[in-house]
Structures are given as C-alpha cells and as structure tokens.
Amino acid sequence: MMQLTIDHSNKKVSATFSRTNPFQAKVLKNSNLNNNGSSKETRHIELSLKGSGLSYVPGDALGIVPENDPELVDTLLEEMQWDPETAVTINKQGDTLPLREALLTYFEITLLTKKIMQQATGFTSNNELQRLVLNENVNELKEYMEGRDLLDVLRDFGPWNASAQDIVSLLRKMPPRLYSIASSLTAHPDEVHLTIGAVRYTANGRDRKGVCSVQCAERVQEGDTLPVFIQPNKHFHLPESLESDIIMVGPGTGIAPFRSYIEERAVTKATGRAWLFFGDQHSATDFLYQEELENYLKEGVLTRLDAAFSRDSEQKVYVQHKMSDNSKELFAWLENGAYFYVCGDKQHMAKDVHNTLIDVIEKEGNMSREAAEQYLNTMKDQGRYQRDVY
Ligand SMILES: Cc1cc2nc3c(=O)[nH]c(=O)nc-3n(C[C@H](O)[C@H](O)[C@H](O)COP(=O)(O)OP(=O)(O)OC[C@H]3O[C@@H](n4cnc5c(N)ncnc54)[C@H](O)[C@@H]3O)c2cc1C
C-alpha cells in the first residue's frame, strides 16, 4: 500500500517510499571495480533517486528488494513439473500470482529454516527427513541447511505428495538486502551509489549465487530499475564537528560508507584530518576506488591512506597489521580526539581490528589490558568508536 503524506502548509501530496513501499530507482551505472584476473567481483552501482523525495546522510544504508535467479526458478519448476502459470496465493490477504512470478519475485527460495524443514515433513513420507527434524538431530539439521536451498530439499526428500501451493506456503517473503551507501548526496544530488561484492560459492555439489549481489552483477543493466528504500543508521555517522579527525577501517566492500564520508567531507570542506585503512587481496586487481582515493590524498581531503593486500606477499598482510605498524601515530590521533570507524566483515576482520586497537592503546598508552579496554569503552560512550559490520 502506498503511504501518502499530506503537507498542509502548501497542500502538496507526496508519496513516502519505505521498506513496504520501495521506490523504483533507475540504474545509471553498473560497473566492475575489480580488474581482469581478480578472484572477486565488486560492482559499483549508481542509482537515481530523482522524484522519490528520498534523502540520506553518510552512514545510512540502502535496502534493495531482490529477485531470484530465473535459472534456479526454472530448474525448480522443471524438477517438480509444476505449471509456471498456476495461480498461487502468496499471503494472508489472499493475493495471488502466477507460480513462476511468485517464485521469482515474492518468496525466498535460497535459504532454509528449521520451520520449513519441519513443515515439509507433512508433504512426504521420506523417513530421512522425518529423522532429520527430530530434536536430537538438531546439529545435523543445521549442517544440512547450511549451503543448501529449496531445490536440494525437494530433490533429497521426495517423493512429494504436495501441490505447488503446499510448497510455497512453507516459504517466507523475500527479505530485502541492505547495502552501506557509498556516496554523498551533497556531492551527487538525486543519486545513491553502492559497492556490492558478488557472493558466489560451491556447496554440496552445486554452484550457488547470492540472490541480490549476483542479480546486481549478472542481470541488472543500466536503464533497469531496482526497488529500494533508505535504512537510516543512527549509530554510524560523521562527527558533528568538521574539525574532528576521523580514522576509517574499511577493507573490501567495507570501503563503501567511507567513500561517502570522504565525498561529504570534500564538499563540506572539513578541516579535520582523515585516515583510511583499506585492504583486499591484490593491489593490481582489487584496489577499489584507487584513483579516486589517491586524488583525495593529493587534494588533502584524505590525510593518510594505508592499504594492505593479503595475497601480494607470502605473509598475509591485513588492515590490522597496518594499524600495528603505525601504532604510535594511531594512538596520537586517538589522544587528539579522533573518531574511529570500522566497516565490513563481522566474522573475522572486525574482531581482529577491535583486538588490535586495544593492543595499540595498551602499548602506546603504557596501560594495562583492562585500562586499554576501558579507554575504548569510553570512546564508545563518546560515540568515537562506531562499527557497521555484517
Ligand atoms: C548494514 C549492512 C550493510 C551492508 N553493506 C554491504 C555493502 O556495502 N556491500 C556488500 O557487498 N554487502 C553489504 N552487506 C551484505 C548484504 O546485505 C548481503 O548480505 C550480501 O550482498 C549477500 O546478499 P545476497 O542476496 O547476494 O546473498 P544471499 O542470497 O543472502 O546469500 C548469502 C548467504 O549465503 C551463504 N553463504 C555465503 N557464502 C557461503 C559459503 N562459502 N558457503 C556456504 N554458505 C555461504 C550465507 O548463509 C550467506 O548469509 C551489508 C549488510 C548489512 C546488514
């Protein structure tokens, strides 16, 4: 349902776009940031927000409502010998869609949950599935679900005594994917830019593709539209004062919000210093936004740029190593009131950076471990240690 906001002051009526009513943003640009020979694919995508009334500040994220891979949907239809045109009910309100369209645009078909597995037992007498969902086999079930999707379940636990409606009723609505905004609205009015890493992997004998990232990498063309909304992030934003120093640690796609920060600080002519730690696999192929960043360095918008490339030398070098190498100066910046930001990989990088930061404070501040941790906690309380990790 479209939400309408009535502005009584000038009687203008404008649509409010949101998670439940996304704006169809036109794709202005979609390019690969990695060079030939890279094992990665990172897309730089520019979208138009013209006419949407949407706005954002550096640190906010953009939500995209993605569509499933048509190849995967067609394989599913073929596997089950379902008629793509069969009407299926998609929600509690009783709305219907042709089956193929419902599988493409409405349902999540690539992620399994315990609930799906348990409810699926109602449509097959396959003993193995009945066994797998028993409470005592919870770990085995978890292991099965990792890196598998609906197609695997339908192949592994037949024969099925279920209609297409029965199966889609097990599925949940496709959740939107969030992306840290990589542009400044002040620098690019009516536009929003993203940095999206294509997720591709092989698991259980099949090549798998991340729904949204690979849609953007393989199927979204310039001129197409994507349904989007703004997801504000109150806990990740630039300091209020233009005089404050900022330290940004953003390897891989973690660079995204910092491109936004740097662009914004260039426009607002911030006088505070800015230090960026970037990292990826190879300098020759994976130095995202290298030219832009080096220009900002020349212009003085960036004060320092330290890049770590993990696969360029025998010994892997990561952003946290660059932090350690520069511990004296890093601590001096912190002592001077700098804000410290981290964005990107939650599982490993953010933890390593956190621990290294404590190491740096402990060493350069001549403090005990506890005092260094307290120092960081105080920074957090002051809003000077902010993380956007996923
Ligand atoms: C606040 C926020 C900001 C973000 N910003 C960015 C950003 O700027 N850029 C960016 O690229 N991403 C960003 N992300 C991540 C992004 O939202 C998506 O999660 C990502 O793009 C994957 O979505 P997808 O639809 O392509 O993959 P999905 O279809 O959602 O598949 C991803 C899932 O596949 C599984 N998987 C992945 N690799 C493997 C493997 N090797 N083996 C087994 N299973 C695996 C995991 O379960 C994983 O969760 C952000 C996330 C959040 C929450």
Ligand 1, atom 37, lies closest to the CA of 199
Query: What is the model's pLDDT at position 293?
Result: 98
Residue span of the structural domain in which 89 resides: 70-168
Which is more confidently placed, 16 or 62?
62
Ligand 1 mutation target, pool 19, 45, 179, 204, most atoms within 8 A of CB: 179
Same domain, 181 and 46: yes
Is 8 a domain residue? no
Ligand 1, atom 13, lies closest to the CA of 179
pLDDT per residue over 263-272, tens digit each?
A: 999 999 999 9
Average pLDDT, the chain: 96
Report whether pLDDT(11) > 60.
Answer: no
Query: What is the model's pLDDT at position 233?
Result: 97
Tell whether ligand 1 has an atom less than 6 A from the beta carbon of residue 257: no
Report whether pLDDT(14) > 50.
Answer: no
Report whether pLDDT(223) > 90.
Answer: yes
Is 10 a domain residue? no
- At residue 98, the 3 state secondary structure works out as strand
Tell whether ligand 1 has an atom less than 6 A from the beta carbon of residue 197: yes
Q: What is the mean pLDDT of residues 212-230?
A: 98
Tell whether ligand 1 has an atom less than 6 A from the beta carbon of residue 389: no
Query: What is the model's pLDDT at position 64?
Result: 98
Same domain, 320 and 264: yes
Q: Which atom, in ligand 1's list, is nearest to the CA of 42?
A: 11
The overall longest dimension of the chain from CA atoms, in Å, is 71
Is 238 a domain residue? no
Q: Count CB atoms within 10 A of the CB of residue 55.
A: 12
Query: What is the model's pLDDT at position 305?
Result: 98
pLDDT category at 179 given cuts 50, 70, 90 is: very high
Is 239 a domain residue? no
Do 279 and 367 contact (CB within 8 A), yes or no? Answer: no
Tell whether ligand 1 has an atom less than 6 A from the beta carbon of residue 132: no
Per-residue tokens: 133 = 């969902």
Q: What is the mean pLDDT of residues 299-314?
A: 97
Is 218 a domain residue? yes
Domain count for the chain, please give it: 3
| Residue 161 burial by Cβ neighbours in a 10 Å radius (0-12, 13-18, 19+) | exposed
Q: Which atom, in ligand 1's list, is nearest to the CA of 214?
A: 26
Per-residue tokens: 273 = 């210093």
**What DSSP string runs through 7-49?**
ETTTTEEEEE-BTTB-EEEEEEEEEE-SPTT-S--EEEEEEE-
Query: What is the model's pLDDT at position 13?
Result: 42
Query: What is the model's pLDDT at position 147?
Result: 92
Same domain, 158 and 120: yes
Ligand 1, atom 53, lies closest to the CA of 390
Q: Ligand 1 center to residue 111 CA distance, Å?
A: 12
Residues in contact with 4: Cβ distance below 8 Å, sequence separation at least 6, in sequence order: 13, 14, 15, 16
Same domain, 60 and 206: yes
> Could you check whether the bond before residue 159 is cis, i.e. omega within 30 degrees of 0?
yes
Tell whether ligand 1 has an atom less than 6 A from the beta carbon of residue 256: yes
pLDDT category at 229 given cuts 50, 70, 90 is: very high
Report whether pLDDT(362) > 50.
Answer: yes
Instruction: Break the chain down into helix, strand, coil percent, rounded to 5.
Output: 35, 25, 40
Q: What is the mean pLDDT of residues 193-211?
A: 97
Is 98 a domain residue? yes
Q: Ligand 1 center to residue 273 CA distance, Å?
A: 32
Query: What is the model's pLDDT at position 309?
Result: 98
Q: Ligand 1 center to residue 210 CA distance, Å?
A: 7
Q: What does the angle CA 59 – CA 347 – CA 260 come to, to the nearest 5 degrees?
A: 20
Q: Domain holding 105: CATH number?
A: 1.20.990.10
Ligand 1, atom 50, lies closest to the CA of 179
Q: Ligand 1 center to residue 177 CA distance, Å?
A: 8
Ligand 1, atom 30, lies closest to the CA of 210
pLDDT per residue over 338-354, tens digit each?
A: 999 999 999 999 999 99
Ligand 1 mutation target, pool 67, 68, 177, 233, most atoms within 8 A of CB: 177
Tell whether ligand 1 has an atom less than 6 A from the beta carbon of residue 196: yes
Tell whether ligand 1 has an atom less than 6 A from the beta carbon of residue 178: yes
CA distance linking residue 24 with residue 49, whole number of Å? 8
CA distance linking residue 285 with residue 304, whole number of Å? 21
Report whether pLDDT(2) > 50.
Answer: no
Same domain, 360 and 264: yes
Q: Domain holding 217: CATH number?
A: 2.40.30.10
Same domain, 303 and 334: yes
Cα–Cα separations (whole angstroms), residue 205 to 9, 147, 155, 263 = 61, 10, 13, 44
Tell whether ligand 1 has an atom less than 6 A from the beta carbon of residue 195: yes
pLDDT category at 7 given cuts 50, 70, 90 is: very low
Cα–Cα separations (whole angstroms), residue 48 to 66, 223, 257 = 17, 10, 18
- At residue 58, the 3 state secondary structure works out as coil
Is 181 a domain residue? yes
Q: Ligand 1 center to residue 85 CA distance, Å?
A: 31
**What DSSP string runs through 351-371?**
HHHHHHHHHHHHHHTT--HHH
Tell whether ligand 1 has an atom less than 6 A from the beta carbon of residue 217: no
Q: Domain holding 301: CATH number?
A: 3.40.50.80
Tell whether ligand 1 has an atom less than 6 A from the beta carbon of residue 212: yes
Is 269 a domain residue? yes
Q: What is the mean pLDDT of residues 280-303?
A: 98
Tell whether ligand 1 has an atom less than 6 A from the beta carbon of residue 211: yes
Query: What is the model's pLDDT at position 15?
Result: 60
Same domain, 287 and 358: yes
Query: What is the model's pLDDT at position 4?
Result: 46
Same domain, 294 and 203: no
pLDDT per residue over 85-142, tens digit each?
A: 999 999 999 999 999 999 999 999 999 999 999 999 999 999 999 999 999 999 999 9
Same domain, 158 and 186: no
Query: What is the model's pLDDT at position 3?
Result: 47
Same domain, 58 and 190: yes
Residues in contact with 129: Cβ distance below 8 Å, sequence separation at least 6, in sequence order: 117, 120, 121, 153, 156, 157
Report whether pLDDT(5) > 80.
Answer: no
Same domain, 50 and 187: yes
Same domain, 225 and 182: yes
Query: What is the model's pLDDT at position 376?
Result: 98
Q: Ligand 1 center to residue 199 CA distance, Å?
A: 7
Q: Are strands 339-344 and 246-249 parallel, antiparallel or unpaired?
A: parallel
